[in-house]
Amino acid sequence: MHLSIFHLYPARMNLYGDRGNVLALVRRAEWRGWTVEVVPVEAGEPADFARADLIFMGGGEDRHQAAIFEDFRRRGPEIRAALADGVPALAVCGAYQLLGHYYETAAGQRLDGLGWFDAYTRPGPGRAIGNVVVEATLPLEPRTLVGFENHGGRTYLEPGQAPLGRVVAGAGNNGADGTEGAVKLATVGTYLHGSLLPKNPQLADWLLARAQERREGRAQLEPLDDTLELWAHAGAVERTRRLTRVKNGAGR
């Protein structure tokens, strides 16, 4: 199978190793014998989203989001059409925020998003910083997702919008309602940096399976030896839970 990954704004939207998500997808596809093409899409460059098999966009600071905002909005109809057609996508932090109805910056600037997710983001008190453990709503094995968050915005899901998961440790969307991220069709939005997919190979394979299903009408990924990846994943889960217990005064 040939896989075309559209990587949106890699020069500006690449906080905390987000580019590693694309590398993980490429390697896991190539290990299965797929051919992979990564198509970087920068502001002002032509891009035919009808060719995309998978879309990725990472996070950025407010100034980076503002810099790509007009171009992102201009491409909105094409991006929404691709997502509605089932093209799998991963949107991290700033990208996740811009897929909601709007994002309000700390300076009070309102950036209207694509409205793909039924959600909105407003500035919060201080920043949500630290390691995160999430119990995913997707049918993953293991069900936990681990990552690192650092965001000043607080995202609120409207009724009916499915979260990516429930927070076990960390703040997640807003630190109040226990949700993290959002899922719609094959689109995943999340605050988890780190980068996310090398630490969570089961989510990488979920995205690849959705791309295969859309292209070939089936999802039959050959299994890989993820011993090291899952060992690192389990270690991150235990370390984060232990630190959370210490922070909450529950002992070491």
Active site residues: 93, 193
CA distances from 248 to 127, 170, 252 (A): 19, 12, 10
Contact in structure between 66 and 108 (CB atoms under 8 Å): no
For the chain, the straight-line distance linking the first and the last C-alpha, in angstroms and rounded, comes to 49
d(CA 157, CA 180): 10
Contact in structure between 98 and 111 (CB atoms under 8 Å): yes
Q: 185-214: string of b/e by CB count within 10 Å (b at 16+)? A: ebbbbbbbbbbbbbbbbbbbbbbbbbbbbb
Q: Cis (ω within 30 of 0) for the bond into 142?
A: yes
d(CA 99, CA 102): 8
CA angle 93-149-71, nearest 5°? 15
